[in-house]
Structure 1
Amino acid sequence: MRRDKPLTCRLPEELRQLYAFPYPIAIWREPPASIRAALAAAEDFGVKRIYTVGDVVTENFIKYGVRPAVAVVDYKTRRHGLSAAQLEYRRVVKVQNPPGYITGEAWSAVSEAVEEEDTLIVVEGEEDLLSLAFIAEGRDDAAVAYGHYAGALIFIPIKPYRALKRLIELLVCGGGQK
């Protein structure tokens, strides 16, 4: 949407500390360095559990000693496939989720999985957008990790990321006011 006049927005002084966090964290390293960097970020942000979205990201976290609290895979990757032994979870939930969507079924699976944990969600279709459901539904002491198509590991500590949404809602906007 284009405006005739620029919109002026002001962030109240007492809320400026919310803007100190860079959203999200892109880690442009190959494993295991990318996993080590994600774990360092997890420590810095008090992350106690990690949710992974995508086969390669899930495989890399497991391969380098980190078991995701919840993992989402579709068993489709440009590389080799995941072995069933790598993905032994207490709960396995299968959902349908077409490309470009987050179905109610998939969203509910994420919501239940963050409560239950130790869950593998197997998607028939595409899992990419489910990271958004984790940001909305995940615990404050969790992070979501997924792969960027250009090769980065994207790592999002949920609590500060949610603060960004709140920050945008708290902006005082108007045509040149204060």
Structure 2
Amino acid sequence: MQLTTSLCEKISLLLQSKKWMLATAESCTGGLIAAACTELAGSSLWFERGFVTYSNASKSELLSIPKHVIDLNGAVSETVVRAMAAGALANSNAQVSLSVTGIAGPGGGTADKPVGTVWFGWCVQGKTYVECLQISGDRTQVRESTAVHSLSRLATFLQA
């Protein structure tokens, strides 16, 4: 996707100018964001690591999110996306993180959390930002839109 490439190029320059590294924690995108970042040659200068934490157990094991937090709030929640962003930083050498968790479909949605519900989290300069969007489209569209939005907002936060 050309858009993710241009976003990653922008993020690359912003992170390198600050001598910062990025870590990602992805659920519904299954590594699309990390793949977009590492598509660029030289990404090891600014991309530290990516966690693909699709299962609840992996969120606990890799990102240090207590099981009861996930059980109480659901994997697709503000609490969990915040914990994912914090866990990515705590379990890496990065200074910046982004996290996503959502329901890409076609199944898995509920009345409270329909298909296309995606929570986003970003940790930049000690501050955590979160956002929830309802993304329309099929599974591929939800996942790709999630990747683009997460990178676009990260670029905005890095420019601030």
TM-score bracket, normalised by the shorter chain, equals 0.3 to 0.5
Relative contact order: is structure 1 or structure 2 higher (C-alpha 8 Å, sep ≥ 6)? Answer: 1
Larger Rg: 1
TM-score (norm 2): 0.41
1 or 2, which has the higher helix percentage?
Answer: 2
TM-score (norm 1): 0.38
